[in-house]
Chains A and B, each alone.
Chain A
Amino acid sequence: MRLEEKLKNLHSDAVWQEYCGFLDLNIDEYMQIQNRLMLEQISLWSKSGLGQSILNGKNPDSIEEFRKQVPLTSYEDYADILLLKQEYMLPDKPAIWIQTTWEGGRNPIKVAPFSKSMLDTYKINMMACMILATSPEKGKFNIKAADTFLYGLAPLPYATGLVPVLLNEEIGIEFLPPVKEAVKMSFSERNKKGFKLGLRKGIDYFFGLGSVTYFISLSLSLMGSSKSKNESTESKKMFRYSPFMVLRILRAKYCCKKENRELKPKDLFKLKGLMIVGTDNECYKDDLEDLWGIRPMEMFAGTEPGCIGTETWTRDGLYFFPDACFYEFIPEEEMDKHLETPEYQPKTYLMNEVIPNEKYELVISVLKGGAFVRYRVGDVYRCIGLESNTEKIKIPRFKYVDRVPDIIDIAGFTRISEGCIRDVVDLSGLAIKDWLAVKEYNNQNRPLLHMYIEMKRESLISSAITKDILREHLSVYFKYVDNDYKDLKRILGMDPLKITILKCGTFEEYERQKEKPIRAINPSPYEVKELLELQNEDYELNTGGWRY
């Protein structure tokens, strides 16, 4: 039975229980599901060619043995098999291959197989998110077959492209514009068409990357409040709309005039659910709430893990679905140890072992015939509680923090690694001696990539080196090396690079004083502060006794 039929034939409690019942589990029941499905996955994965290539003849019988025998993995461990799409090597036959950017520039794409049962789980969990997005309190929701969905997603083969496909298997929600048309349109065309259709049919749901959702919302505001040069043009435009649409616009404009403010999407549309994914969502949540009148609900989904977690009606922390992946958590301390010594195998803890307020890197084993096991997704979460009294939920609750420190992700678009920046610096041909890159936030709470650069001393007199030149120069190469970086400008209009030029010898002095070099990517704020303070000191450069 599809959700659409269930809504007609079942009591709402039964529908809620089926999709969101996992929120009533206690941690023991939750772990029971996790453990049982993990045992299934171990048996499938261990027998597969992919499993054997990592297990080297070992044959784990229990989860404990599996965790001891299988090291933590990253995409490199699977690349040989997955990039060639060697289906016979996989634990289960893939129903679809999903694609995403691997590491900006260096490795263009990575692909992930989804088995039929993984897709089924994805679908059910996606529906749970939809239900929760419309939910004002536990057990109450408002979802209908005739609802409309503003399309703001990347199409297949990207993971978000699965959403309309799977959603329409369950319920006849209408996408604005229809998916078939939307995938052929440019970003701005799609937004315009969506806005127009939205005015006629209303918009019930909106879902996308936090940053993209915010940008589209701003565009809608502009479209709604666009002032023509003369009144007659505007009146002509009005005639193109139906009386209902005109009424909607007029009512919104009256409301804005009364409150003396710009028009916002909330004046035109009454959203039932606003869902966002990706990084840096915290930067956009308040603004999105202001624009739409409802608080966005954060979901957690990705190419490798599928749809793994969601916030609830309180919008205060996410819960992981028990049947999507088997979750392990690397505590921050272990994460740091691994950053310092890459050979070190960090310890992992299970869902029933996490501690409140501790930061963890997520490790997943995709259940139901997934390819990835003990896979470091590269996301960091903070456990914010083991139970929630307000929601009456008895499983651990998390908040997304950011990507792992060795990757800089700007607004969910880029995955800039140390290697990627090194390529950019090399290609640029600039006389950069040392550098470090940090993800920071500007005054408007928007993410940016801040590079601290030290130029070669000998180049100072032969080259023109200003912040702007460096920024322009490096930006060009960032766009060249990383397509996603280009999209930041193209789609969001962002240029996230900020440059600070450091005094010559600063890095060397830091290394001399601390007896170790500073980490090139995302060192701690204290380390950056110490580095910057060094510039105030009068230190000797290792350049033949000259003092600067």
Chain B
Amino acid sequence: MTGNFIAVPIAALFCYLFLMVAFMAAKKTKLINSFLMVLGALLLWTGGSFCMRMQLIPSIPFWYDISVLGLTFLPFALFNFVDEFVGSKTGLMKKIWFLLFIAVNAVNITTGALLAPPELVYSGSEERFVYHPTWAAAILFVYFATIAVHMLIILIKSSRNNELVRKQFTPIILGIIILFIGHLFVMFSIFQGFPTDILSGLINAFCIFYALYKRRLFKLTLLVSRGICYFITLGLAILIFSNAISFMERFIMMNFPEFVEYNILIISVLFTLSILLIYYAIKKFIDNVFIKEEILRAENLKKFSYSVSKSLQIDEILEELVRVIQDTIGVKKVHVCVAGDSTGEFTIVHSSSPVGFSTFSIQKDNPLVMWLCRHNECLLMKDFKRTMAYKSMWETEKKQLADLDIECLAPLKDEDELVGIVLLTGKERNSNFAFDDVSFLASVDSIGSIAVKNSKLYEKVYYEARTDELTGLLNRKYFYVTIQEEYEKNTDHSLALIILNIDDFKLYNQLYGNKEGDIALQRVAQIIRATVGSNGYVARYGGKEFAIILPMYDILSSKTLAENIRKQILNMNKRTKDYTLKVLTVSGGICAIPHSASTVKHLIDNADMAVYHAKRKGKNLILAYSVEKRELDNQTESVGRDVKADIYSEYASTIYALTAAIDAKDHYTFNHSKRVSYYATKLAYAYGMDEDYVRIIKEAALLHDIGKIGISEQILNKADRLNDEEYEEMKCHVENSIGIIKHLPSLDYVIPAVIGHHEWYDGRGYPRRIAKEDIPLSARMLCISDSFDAMTSKRPYRLPLPVDEAIKILEAGAGRQFDPVLVPIFVHMVRNGLINSESEMDKAYEEEALL
């Protein structure tokens, strides 16, 4: 090798060392390790050869043996690399090649039989290494060739039916071919002195490097570290120093002879300064080319993290999230979907573009959502399209995503729960999403998820603190806050307040139970909320009272609104499919600032007063407050009572008509109803119910078996036990009773008692199988009275039970069939003679009839 081409092995050595240092920093995999092994072999070969030619210590044969070691190790290292690249399992052959490599070197190092060290020949001023190869050198070539053929077979085999694999292998095959050609060229005189073999080795190393890069086995930026900067600086410094030192000495001597004695110092200082400059220049270059983007990303991430940690407002957090993604990744649009609390449906709540997404929503059972729930990673649409989950997407869902041009989705997760989805459109230059983008998104999303979760929790707590749990309306406390705020905001305008109070709601609860009462409250709240919409605020002002704050409303428009609500509530129960419920009505009062109040306190007091007047005037009425209303006299109350009495007398004739009808059909049932009515009335009084309620119980008892009109007489009067079919028919009398009563709207209040009088306290009765307090109180009273009379009466199929026996059965059934609280009261009355005999009962009934 002539001195002119010394740069080739130096450059090769430098490149190998550079790659080695760089890959030392990369994430280690078997494949990367195998590449490092190839680099090691190349280093040994080129380095050994270079040191031998430089005649460095210890000796030429030593460096020669190192060089041959590298050269013979290279095929094995390449084989190992190909093996790992393909993922084939050639364990045995790999071992054989390794043993052969050991054997070849052992023989050659000890005997030099295969390829002896070259002889150093001096011709004039030139030194040359002359080789004396024998036939034994062919063994080495056979060794190389066999491994090369084996490698090619593996490569061809694994890429036969796979174009992608073939594309990946191309640089490796090319590298091997170049390596061979490089060695071949050494033989030609035209290349004499030029190290084509070393150059081919270098090209081969870069071919492998390219193959690894194409396979995305490492990140280019990760290879660039501070160590690399030092390494390059060192290399450049040696080059500059070795070439510039004599020139600098001469320059100082000729131009500044007075400083000759300081030339070492001057050169050292200049040299140090130049090294520093080189280092910073390289660092700057590397930062700009490789790491600038990384740094920018890290800074953006830090900023984002800081911003979201300061806020609990979800809008602010989402705005930051969108901004950081758009700034860093450079996508055209970013949308953030958050799951709705009730529906679980994901709707866009924030977007980088304010238009074009208002109707977008993703159902929680969307395969995309399910995928993001299961996997905690970003999803590229093009990858998702290849999954089976995509097959179950609806066409509308696919179109929705396509219309928004969504290319990437990132989950916002709180542990296992998906709280939101970030939707990204394509990138600005239509480039693909890179590994870095996906990693960045993952980092942003994990920070964003926590922030979204916290803000949602905050909003939930904030919401719960100001809303009523049952109805979802504002609570009383927040009502006062809101009305005060609105009062202050509307000092120059009007502010109306409507208070609505449900009429006879206590009775409704008693009739149908608290559960039905709660449902009614929810439905009333729903009606009010839907009607008011965004025009005002609705609050649950009291147990059965609702308040509506209406900024900018006057009395007239408030009354129109209130009337609308009143009518809807009036019709509310008429539409229910189930057993007819009592009609609910509301009484309402309206007051407005500045028309009839000047402060918040007056506003509320006056609206309350108007409600009071509406109640006094017969309920189901909306009244606006005016000063004259204060003068309402007490007449309303007495008139109200008279009206009630009239209504009852009107009902009485209907009830007697119905009982007469059952008497005509089945005299037993007629008498039985009378007795049950008597027992139930007594029980209701004893339990502390008021006059009105006792009247309802009495009427319900009289009508409770009215449905038996529809049961055949054979079954009603059958002397034997009823068979299953007959029993089923008998059970229908409850529904029959309701079928008759529901046509008499004025008697609808008895329905709860009638429908429930065969329900058992433990839920095993019929027809609805409801239990405990879900059974209306009136029905539980009827159940005891009905059973007691049935047991103590004479029937065609059995004699009456003695009273003591019946009491025992009642007591035994307390908590199972009967209400455990009511049974002791009833038993106490029977034992103490507070419930009279049958004749007295009849007498009482007749007196009542006369009245």
Interface residues of chain A, those whose CB is within 8 Å of chain B, are 1, 7-12, 14, 17-18, 21-22, 24-25, 29, 32-33, 36-37, 40, 117, 140-142, 322-323, 368-369
Which of B162, B367, B394 is A12 in contact with, Cβ under 8 Å?
B162
Select which of A12, A14, A33, A142 is within 8 A of B391 by beta carbon.
A33
Rounded to whole angstroms, the CA-CA distance of A369 and B395 in the bound complex is: 9
6 interchain residue pairs of minimum CB distance: A18-B386, A33-B392, A36-B392, A40-B394, A323-B391, A142-B161
Closest Cβ–Cβ distance, residue B22 to chain A (whole Å): 27
Determine the distance from Cα of A11 to Cα of B164 in the docked complex, in whole angstroms.
Answer: 6
Instruction: Contact check, A33 vs B388: say whether CB atoms are below 8 A apart.
Output: yes
Q: Is A12 a contact partner of B161 (Cβ separation < 8 A)?
A: yes
- Contacts A14-B386, A17-B386, A22-B388; is A8 near B394 (CB within 8 Å)? no
Interface size for B (C-beta < 8 A) is 18
User: B601 at interface (Cβ–Cβ under 8 A)?
Assistant: no
When chains A and B are docked, how far (Å) is the Cα of A97 from the Cα of B557? Answer: 60
Instruction: Report whether B164 and A9 are in contact in the complex, using a CB–CB cutoff of 8 Å.
Output: yes
Instruction: Jot down 24 A-B pairs with beta carbons below 8 A, ordered by A.
Output: A7-B164, A10-B164, A11-B164, A11-B165, A12-B164, A18-B386, A21-B387, A21-B388, A22-B388, A22-B391, A25-B388, A29-B388, A32-B392, A33-B388, A36-B365, A36-B392, A37-B394, A40-B395, A117-B395, A140-B161, A323-B391, A323-B392, A368-B395, A369-B395
Give, as a whole number of angstroms, the nearest-CB distance from B403 to chain A.
Answer: 15
Complex: A32 Cα to B374 Cα, angstroms: 15
Query: Quick check: A8 and B386 within 8 Å, CB to CB?
Result: no
Q: Within 8 Å of chain A (Cβ to Cβ): is B163? A: yes
Complex Cα distance, B365 from A7, in Å, reads 32
In the complex, what distance in Å separates the CA atom of A8 from the CA atom of B170?
13
C-alpha gap A1/B383 in the complex (Å) = 11
Majority SS of interface residues in chain A? helix
Q: Is B27 interfacial (CB-CB < 8 Å)?
A: no
Beyond A7-B164, A22-B391, A36-B392, list 16 extra A-B contacts (CB 8 Å). Answer: A1-B382, A8-B163, A11-B164, A12-B161, A12-B162, A18-B385, A24-B388, A29-B388, A32-B392, A33-B392, A36-B365, A36-B367, A40-B394, A117-B395, A322-B388, A369-B395
Interface residues of B in 368-384 (CB under 8 A from A): 382
CA distance A271 to B382 in the complex (A): 33
The interface residues of chain A lying within 8 Å CB-to-CB of B163 are 7-8
Q: How far does the Cβ of A324 sit from chain B's closest Cβ, in whole Å?
A: 10
Q: Which residues of B contact A12 (CB under 8 A)?
A: 161-162, 164-165
> Bound state CA distance, A352 and B162, in angstroms?
37
Q: Within the complex, what minimum Cβ distance (angstroms) separates B638 from chain A?
A: 55
Q: What is the interface of chain B, defined by CB distance below 8 A to chain A? A: 161-165, 167, 365, 367, 382, 385-388, 391-392, 394-396
Provide the bound-state CA to CA distance between A141 and B514, in Å. 68
Give bound CA distance, A432 to B478, whole Å: 94
- Interchain CB contact under 8 A, A8 and B395: no
Given A14-B386, A21-B388, A24-B388, verify A36-B394 contact (CB < 8 Å).
yes
Residue of A36, A37, A142, A323 with most chain B CB atoms under a 10 A cut-off: A36
A8 touching B164, Cβ below 8 Å: yes
Min CB distance B147 to A, Å, is 27
Q: How distant is the Cα of A22 from the Cα of B390 in the complex, in angstroms?
A: 11
Within the complex, the shortest CB–CB distance from A181 to chain B, in Å, comes to 30
Instruction: Kindly list chain A residues whose C-beta atoms are within 8 Å of the C-beta of B386.
Output: 14, 17-18, 21
* Whole-angstrom CA separation of A24 from B386 in the bound complex: 14
Instruction: Note all chain B residues with C-beta closer than 8 A to A36.
Output: 365, 367, 392, 394
Across-interface contacts of B367 in A (CB, < 8 A): 36
Beta-carbon nearest neighbor of B389 in chain A:
A33
Distance between Cα atoms of A9 and B387 in the complex (Å):
17
CB distance from B156 to the nearest CB of A (A): 15
Bound-state Cα–Cα, A71 to B478, Å: 56
Q: Give the Cβ gap from A290 to chain B, nearest Cβ, in Å.
A: 26
A322 to chain B, nearest CB (A): 7
The complex places the Cα of A8 from the Cα of B394 at a distance, in Å, of 29
Residue from B388, B392, B396 in contact with A37 in the complex, judged by beta carbons closer than 8 Å: B392
Determine the chain B residues whose CB is within 8 A of the CB of A9 once the complex forms: 164
Closest A residue to B370 by beta carbon equals: A32
Q: How far is the CA of A140 from the CA of B165 in the complex (A)?
A: 14
Chain B residues closer than 8 Å to A17, beta-carbon distance: 386-387
Q: Which residue of A lies closest to B367 (CB)?
A: A36
Residues of A within 8 A of B167 (CB): 8
A37 (CB) vs chain B CBs: closest residue: B392
CA of A117 to CA of B392, assembled, Å = 12
A-chain residues with CB within 8 Å of residue B394 when the two chains form the complex: 36-37, 40
Measured CA separation A9–B162 after assembly (Å): 10
Cα–Cα distance between A276 and B164 once the two chains are bound (Å): 30
Query: Which residues on A sit within 8 Å (CB–CB) of B382?
Result: 1
A322 to B388, CA, bound (A): 10
Chain B residues contacting A11 (CB-CB under 8 Å) are 162, 164-165
What is the bound-complex CA distance between A36 and B394, given in angstroms? 8
Say how far A450's CB is from chain B's closest CB, in angstroms. Answer: 44
Q: Which B residues are CB-close (under 8 A) to A8?
A: 163-164, 167
In the assembled complex, the Cα of A7 lies from the Cα of B162 at a distance in Å of 7
Chain B residues closer than 8 Å to A40, beta-carbon distance? 394-396
Who on chain B is nearest to A15 by CB? B386
Neighbouring A residues of B365 by C-beta, 8 Å: 36
Which chain A residues lie closer than 8 Å to B164 at the CB level? Answer: 7-12
- CA of A25 to CA of B365 in the docked complex: distance in angstroms? 18
